[in-house]
Structure 1
Amino acid sequence: MIPRVTATVDLAALRHNLGVVRRLAPRSRVMAAVKADAYGHGAVPVARTLEAAGVDALAVACLEEAMQLRQARVQAPIALLEGVISSEEAAQAVYERLQIVVHDHWQIALLEQLPASARLSVWFKLDSGMHRLGFPLTEVPRLVETLRRHPGWSFQGWMTHLACADEPDNPFTDEQIARFEAALAGIPGPRSIANSAGLIAWPRARTDWVRPGLALYGCSPMPGSTGAELGLKPAMRLESRIIAVREYASGEGIGYGLTYRCPERMRIGVVAIGYADGMHRAFRNGTPVLIRGRRAYLAGRVSMDMITVDLREVPDACVGDPVLLWGDALPAEEIAQWAGTLSYELFCGLTQRVHFRHLDAAGAR
């Protein structure tokens, strides 16, 4: 059976990108974000690749994501970025040797219900200005006292998250870092600040731990740039194929709502991908795809199972030709702009109808 839509993930690219991260922050340990199914790239093969490459830790959002990795025999340290939400989850996290990121006092209360013999591993998350999760910075003395009350807890460190790191000219990132540093002045424990944007654009954020996500998958978190410009290699190629070619007269409308009108007599290709595969309906006329190494352009609305493209720039295109939606030759950062979104959402939006292949130097997995 020939897959309609294939996402090919290059595991060697992940290792390359981890190397770029290490060169940017040579004195930092690396906690790789593999939450949300490794940003849509496949959590288990990605985690196994990064673990084999020597990453220091992995980060997921929740216990369910961590359990998927443990059941796949991933042994690397795993941090739960949202922590735990019940005493049952807390007990399971201890059993699975997970690091619990604690962001509120009610979570501390949950952990204190565990037996004194429980081997807890915790981070404390501080809110330095993002105003999402995290203890107010004024709570640091109280948190230090909590650690004193629980000498058996294995304290991993202090973390915070940056709100505007992808805006190099925005002074708020420096303000956040300064607040975080001031709140922890003289207090022991590793620090973790940088996400991908912080790692790339803010050297002060390269502390004891960095937490790259998007950069590991080969995309730039910085507006107006691509991963390749930063020395990164895109890890994913999304491809489909042409399943029909038709010729229409000038003025004919294409697709639902006839939102595209042929400006001249022209060939239209029908490609087997739609919003049921993760091709956003918000993509506008003119969104590029790549056929035979040349750009063709979306002509008409994205439908559930198909898109239609203007083939005037690829006159030799025919049924069966592969169509690249994004990948090394067509950056996801560029394509995302045509739907008014980010590459994060493109990757995470792929559905179970997409066939995934994970390739390494030895071939398909």
Structure 2
Amino acid sequence: MKRAATARLRPAALVHNLGIARRAAPRSRVMAVIKAEAYGHGLLRVADALAPHTDGFAVSCLEEAFALRNAGHALPLLALQGFRDGHELVHAARQGIAVAVHDPVQLRLLETTPLPRPVRVWLKLDSGMGRLGFPAEDAFVRLRALQNCANVATSPVLMTHLACADEPGRAENAAQLARFEAATRDLPGERSLANSAAILGLPRAHGDWNRPGILLYGASPMADGDARRHGLQPVMTLQAPLVAVHDLAPGDAVGYGATFRCRRPTRVGVVAIGYADGYPRHVPSGVPVCLPQGRAPLIGRVSMDLITIDLTDLPGAAVGDPVTLWGEGLPVEEVARAAETISYDLLCAVAGRVRVEEVAGNAH
């Protein structure tokens, strides 16, 4: 069953945003990141839109890569978390999917698992993220092991991930880049360092392959950024209808827990979206929504199926009006900041019961 809440998606905006990534780093190839159901936009839908324009796709796990191959996508694919066992490794090799190698267990599996053909490898080095990857200083030893492995096709790509690229001036960025460069200076192979934020803000990180993610979907990758400043266009506009309007008096409470009480005569609107649709329950009163007549603040707690908003300053608002939760006219990163979260969280959380519509043309 689908709800009245609708995610309106503009495939043309995806292509536009990818073009911005290319212009920012014209010497780099693009490995478009479409993991986590393409940040909530739909894995296959986004892959179909971007396939003519990108050089490859990066996903989180091999299950996502297999889905792309099974749907007929022939572009280079990279599984960023690599493989968990020999069974996955065999299927990755069979379907021509590149795998990140970041752990000694994976190295042993590569050396001992019979494969139908060699597999392409991206060697992940930890330059300061402290998550996945071999210590950068081990790059020579790990690369030599891979080069000596008959199951590895060609020279591995050397990759790392930047922890603070969304704040380009942070000292950690320079330290990570210096550590990676020192560890790989005399080693063969292509390089990949830049995520969305580094593509836009750290030219030194541009490598043979860049990995744009959040910017593809029209949200700023910068900690204090505005997508419009970079020319990015929102791909998703999340909307739901206004289903009721009523008046409350000063002192009247709104919603579960009576956490909001009216300080003035208040015209309350009820919108058909809630946390079961992916609109986060934790957002506080005051987070903006957008109607044709203007913006209005959320009031009271988000419930499973409904939110309430203050329409006192929008007397023209009426039942049936579309309410935009984020997207055109209301940047998702602005909503995320007001909700004390990040745009990734909002986009990825949109639930399966939300209706999806594709819309022609670019956003304005």
> Normalized against structure 1, the TM-score is what?
0.96
Deviation at 1:219, TM superposition (A): 0.7
What is residue 143 of structure 2 aligned with on the other side?
Answer: 144
Cross-structure match for 2:304: 304
Tell me the number of residue pairs that the alignment of Structure 1 and Structure 2 aligns: 361
Return the alpha-carbon distance in structure 2 between the equivalents of residues 73 and 52 of structure 1. 13
What displacement does 1:280 show?
0.7
Checking the alignment, whether the CA contact within 8 Å between 2:13 and 2:361 is kept in structure 1 is: no
Name the counterpart of 2:286: 286
One-letter amino acid matched to 1:317: A
- Match runs of 1:112-261 below 5 Å: 112-115=111-114, 118-150=117-149, 153-154=152-153, 155-261=155-261
How far 1:77 moved relative to its partner?
0.9
Aligned equivalents of 1:238 and 1:48: distance in 2? 21
Residues in 2 aligned to 1:102 and 1:16: alpha-carbon distance in whole angstroms = 32
CA distance in 2, matches of 1:144, 1:285: 53
Deviation at 1:48, TM superposition (A): 1.3
Q: How many angstroms apart in 1 are the aligned matches of 2:361 and 2:147?
A: 49
Counterpart CA distance in 2 for 1:245 and 1:10 is 31
How big is each residue's C-alpha offset from its partner over 1:228-280, in whole Å with a ceiling of 9 and x where there is no partner? 11111111100000111111111111111111111222210100000111111
Q: Closer, same or farther in 2 for the Cα pair 1:86/1:116, shift >3 Å?
A: closer
Q: Secondary structure at the match of 1:52?
A: coil
Q: How does 1:4-153 map to 2 (within 5 A)?
A: 4-53=4-53, 55-115=54-114, 118-150=117-149, 153=152
Kept after mapping to 2: 8 A contact 1:228/1:234: no
What is the SS of the residue equivalent to 2:359?
strand
The aligned amino acid for 1:239 is: Q
Confirm or deny: 8 A CA contact 1:60 1:80 kept in the other structure.
yes
Cα contact 1:45–1:358 (8 A) shared by 2: no
The superposition leaves residues 93-131 of structure 1 with CA deviations (integer Å, 9 ceiling, x where unpaired) of: 111110011001110111222336522111100000101
The 1:107–1:222 alpha-carbon spacing in structure 2 relative to 1, beyond 3 Å, is: same
Q: 1:166: how far off?
A: 1.0
Residues in 1 aligned to 2:82 and 2:115: alpha-carbon distance in whole angstroms? 19
**Counterpart contact for 1:292–1:314, Cα < 8 Å:** no
Secondary structure at 2:141's aligned position in 1? helix
Worse-matched range after superposition: 105-114 or 140-149: 140-149
**CA–CA distance in 1 between the matches of 2:277 and 2:349?**
8
Q: Deviations over 1:32-89 (max 9, x none)?
A: 1100000001110101111122x11100010111122122212111100000001000
Contact 2:2 2:355 in 1 (8 A): no
Matches within 5 A, 1:342-357: 342-357=342-357
Alpha-carbon separation, structure 2, partners of 1:67 and 1:141:
31
Q: 1:156 and 1:33 mapped to 2: Cα distance? A: 19
**Using the alignment, how far apart are the partners of 1:178 and 1:291 within structure 2?**
48
> Which residue identity lines up with residue 96 of structure 1 in the other structure?
Q
Q: Tell me by how many angstroms 1:151 deviates.
A: 5.3
More displaced, 139-148 or 117-126? 139-148
Deviations 1:297-337 (A, max 9, x none): 11111011100000012111111111000002100001011
- Contact 1:161-1:193 at 8 Å conserved across structures: yes
Q: Tell me which amino acid in the other structure corresponds to 1:114.
A: T
**Identity score, percent:** 48
**Distance between the aligned counterparts of 2:55 and 2:39, measured in 1?**
19
Counterparts in 2 of 1:259 and 1:152: CA distance versus 1, 3 Å: closer
Instruction: Return the letter of the residue paired with 1:104.
Output: D
Distance 1:117 1:285, change over 3 A: closer
Q: Is the 8 A contact 2:129 2:162 kept in 1?
A: yes
The one-letter amino acid of 2:113's match is: L
Cα distance in 1, alignment partners of residues 226 and 214 from structure 2: 11
In 2, Cα distance between the equivalents of 1:266 and 1:166?
A: 40
> Match of 2:350, as an amino acid?
L
> How far apart are the structure 2 equivalents of 1:73 and 1:156?
25
